[in-house]
Structure 1
Amino acid sequence: MKNLKKKLGLSAAVVLSTLTFATAYAASSVPTTSTTPENPNITYIKTDEPTSYRIDQLKKIAMYYYWHGGDLEKAEKEIFKGITLKGKYDVVEHAFKEATLIDPYNLDLKFSLASTQIIQKKIPEALQTYKQILNLDPNNFNANLLYGVYSKINGDIRAYKSAISKLKRIDSKKANEYIRKLKTTESIINSKLNTEVPQHLPQKDHAIVILGYALADDGSMRQPLMERLKVGLAIAKQYPHSKIIVTGGVPKQGITEAEAMSNWLISQGIEKDRIILENKSTDTVENALFTTAILEKEGIKDVTLVTSASHMRRALTVFKEASDFYDKMNGKNSNRNFTNVVYLDYPSIEEAQKVSKDEEFVIYRDLFRVSGIWQYPGLQR
């Protein structure tokens, strides 16, 4: 086994025969690991370990691969032996699938499985998983909501209408709130993307929010981020009194996206005191939540979002929802206004205005996440 660990390394050994479902329980022990690369100690779990312990290890495996990935080629060749792995989310899915076999009563595990299937665009499988939840708990609000909306995107309007009717019976107030959110999102999906700097933006209480993009392993900025910065810089020059918020907290070589963006803007002549760093977020949902806290603190009423065209509708959706949430939490109505300017990552603006089914799924998935429905209950928003 020591030779096997050296051969596979941490990322492959983390899953081992835990996920070889047909033979998992025939084995005498299951190698696994903690979820952080800083603590790579591998332990061995016998199959007669307590149920909660085995489930906990499977959740750790899922979250490890969700964040860090692993050597899929070796895992497929030397561990899974016949199971085709197309990406790290295959491992996440298999881990949650195994966990649901160990505890078929745990609905949170089923929600996590369905979320991973949505990420992988396995829509029929995800809908079936939500259906299992509803068979066990017909009045589960979140399951009815997710099943209904994803069914609609998938072309099943009847299932959507039935789900909405059920939601109104379960909790009419909450159902009407989500109906409003869905209508707002539909309006955003159909809104115009702007490639030019808007005229007549407010000269007061206005901020330009430039959304980050993952840095290269050496800490350098990739082209999409550079292009977003160029768009943001053009707006900043035209509106010299506007604050600039740069977002992104995933570090590479000791620097976050926000820090790299700030350094670049300063090198282009932007005053340092105009720039505010949001350097804790790991994805678009956290961009919105953490940036909205800054907007509240700074008293910003008008926001111009800057990101890629393929990302803008999702960004507008989650920022609007985050802003509405902060209003509700603070018992006020900020009437915060959002405008947009995009880096055009399509051949033409006409192509950019078209919304694919895949984009719709991601938009609504992140709407639900920012509204408070965790993607992986208790593990990952």
Structure 2
Amino acid sequence: MKKIAFLVASASVLAGCSGQQAQEALASNSGNEENVKGNGVQEENGEAAGNSEENNESVSDDSDEIAEADSIEELFERVANNSPTSERIQALEEIAMYYYWHGGDVLQAEEEVFEGITLHGDYDVVEEAFRQATEIDPYDTDLMYSLASAQILQQEIDEALHTYERMLNMEEDHFEAQLMHAIYSGIEGDDEAFESGMEALDTIDEERAASYRENITSVEEIQELSFNTEVPEDLPDENHAFVVLGYALSDEGEMEETLLERLKVAKEAAEQNPDSKLIVSGGVPRQGITEADVMHEWLIEEGIEEDRIIKEDMATDTVENGLFSMQIAEEEQIEDITMITSASHMRRALVIFEEVDDYITQKNGSDVERDFSHVVYLDYDSVEEAETFEREEEIVVYRDLMRATGIWAYPGLQR
């Protein structure tokens, strides 16, 4: 049985919501993510703070307030001046989230709070803020879990595994820590630790553990995916839609090459399948323009009928692409989906969309069993290169899939 718990909003929040209501309920709790291509990282739905080679997705660029309007300087002061313990921890959490979403002056952070520690980028600030918080309160497993998430973000797997182990030494039945330790042990090739971890999960919650075994199987299966570089010829004539995933706009609100290439694929697909709808998914406005706005306008200019195109303009990352697009699919009675995105993004997108679809159909009591197909924009030199499933991509796929199942990356702070 697939999980019912999902993302920041519980089923009680989303049940009965329209697509727009569901979007509004979750939009403020978006998450960042990386899109790995080989050893590099590409942006998807928005440009966020990050190390120079690891930019992530973010929320709207005009959401620049921290908590209740504390400035970053005030947060630094609360840490440096030895405020009460709870205030220092809260300030460190807010510093971490600020640098996670927006980036900031790394040198200032080094001088004001993290003196003596060399910080190379914004995610170093995130990690060090959570590290200091765990030192102030070494009994708070949520802080430790946030530290591990920051380490996973930087692909510091050995360090994250050690952090999970510290958590399990304190709370051996901590399901999420045990699950993450098992998964990332498996990625590192430690089959014994993976198997023992999964067995431990069975003793904690057998039904939930079985559900996550299904998730792990889905990632194993997606590794064998053969990419379609041409639009499939046997797509349904009825109740079918293409879902076109967005890509970060320039600061001026213009399309980058990656998004344009995805749209060229979408245009060809729409022309070959005149009865299919198109859901264009992507928020993160630049100059007041979202990715969905740009995609919608471009497709119309290229001759695609406006009434075939549905805008989903709230998503800030692939998980929200899935959540909001599949809610639209339910409302529009769309039974089959063909995904359109870059090859470097497709495996992650398919895993997440299928997980979200399971959740949405269960929440709505729907008996629809959707078929997912795909066609890629090939952003590699060859199909063979694209189909190689690298360790870096596996880390990102698991990280985002865990978010899609309802596990928060930063408990109480960001899903």
Q: TM-score, normalised to structure 1's length?
A: 0.87
Does 2:282 correspond to 1:282?
Answer: no
Which structure has more helix as a fraction of its residues?
Answer: 1
C-alpha change, 1:77 and 1:103, in structure 2 (3 Å) is: closer
RMSD: 1.9
How do 1:336-351 and structure 2 match up within 5 A?
336-351=370-385
Partner of residue 286, structure 2:
252
Once the two structures are aligned, what percentage of the paired residues are identical?
53
What is the deviation of 1:293?
A: 0.8
Partner of residue 66, structure 2:
35
1:188-227 Cα distance to aligned partner (Å, 9 max, x none): 2211111001011001111110111111111111111111
Give distance in 1, aligned partners of 2:113 and 2:166: 30
Could you tell me which of 317, 322, 328 is aligned with 2:351? 317
AA in 2 matched with 1:349: V
What is the deviation of 1:180?
A: 1.3
Partner of residue 366, structure 1:
400
Could you tell me which of 158, 178, 183 is aligned with 1:149? 183
Could you tell me which of 94, 107, 117 is aligned with 1:60? 94
Partner of residue 60, structure 2:
none
Give distance in 2, aligned partners of 1:352 and 1:365: 20
1:39-85 Cα distance to aligned partner (Å, 9 max, x none): 74743426442222211111111111111011335655787565332
AA in 2 matched with 1:153: I
Give distance in 2, aligned partners of 1:230 and 1:36: 41
Give distance in 2, aligned partners of 1:173 and 1:367: 18
Of residues 79-88 and 237-246 in structure 1, the stretch that sits farther from structure 2 once superposed is 79-88
1:137-176 Cα distance to aligned partner (Å, 9 max, x none): 1011111111101110111110000011111111111111
1:238-273 Cα distance to aligned partner (Å, 9 max, x none): 111111111111010110111111111111111111
Give distance in 2, aligned partners of 1:39 and 1:207: 44
| Matched-pair contact (CA < 8 Å) for 2:323–2:356 | yes
| Matched-pair contact (CA < 8 Å) for 2:262–2:340 | yes
What is the deviation of 1:234?
A: 0.8
C-alpha change, 1:342 and 1:279, in structure 2 (3 Å) is: same
| Matched-pair contact (CA < 8 Å) for 2:82–2:88 | no
Give distance in 2, aligned partners of 1:293 and 1:49: 45
AA in 1 matched with 2:276: S
Partner of residue 234, structure 1:
268
Partner of residue 132, structure 1:
166
AA in 2 matched with 1:305: M
Give distance in 2, aligned partners of 1:38 and 1:237: 49
Partner of residue 24, structure 1:
none
| Matched-pair contact (CA < 8 Å) for 1:374–1:380 | yes
Give distance in 2, aligned partners of 1:257 and 1:275: 14
Could you tell me which of 144, 157, 163 is aligned with 2:197? 163
AA in 1 matched with 2:153: I
AA in 2 matched with 1:35: I
Give distance in 1, aligned partners of 2:114 and 2:165: 28
| Matched-pair contact (CA < 8 Å) for 2:67–2:94 | no
Give 5+ residue unaligned stretches, structure 1: 1-32
Does 2:212 correspond to 1:212?
Answer: no
Of residues 34-43 and 249-258 in structure 1, the stretch that sits farther from structure 2 once superposed is 34-43
Aligned residues between the structures:
349
| Matched-pair contact (CA < 8 Å) for 1:34–1:42 | no
1:339-375 Cα distance to aligned partner (Å, 9 max, x none): 1111111110011110000100100111110000011
C-alpha change, 1:76 and 1:60, in structure 2 (3 Å) is: closer
Q: Secondary structure at the match of 2:379?
A: coil
Give distance in 2, aligned partners of 1:298 and 1:248: 18
Q: TM-score, normalised to structure 2's length?
A: 0.80
Give distance in 2, aligned partners of 1:310 and 1:92: 26
Q: Secondary structure at the match of 2:373?
A: strand
Partner of residue 327, structure 1:
361
Partner of residue 294, structure 1:
328
Could you tell me which of 114, 132, 138 is aligned with 1:104? 138
C-alpha change, 1:213 and 1:203, in structure 2 (3 Å) is: same
Q: Secondary structure at the match of 2:229?
A: coil
Q: Secondary structure at the match of 2:230?
A: coil
Q: Secondary structure at the match of 2:243?
A: strand
Give distance in 2, aligned partners of 1:118 and 1:374: 13
| Matched-pair contact (CA < 8 Å) for 1:204–1:241 | yes
C-alpha change, 1:334 and 1:76, in structure 2 (3 Å) is: same
Could you tell me which of 166, 174, 183 is aligned with 2:208? 174
What is the deviation of 1:86?
A: 2.6
| Matched-pair contact (CA < 8 Å) for 1:34–1:41 | no
Give distance in 2, aligned partners of 1:212 and 1:192: 22
Higher relative contact order (CA 8 A, sep 6+): 2
Give 5+ residue unaligned stretches, structure 2: 1-63
| Matched-pair contact (CA < 8 Å) for 1:36–1:64 | no
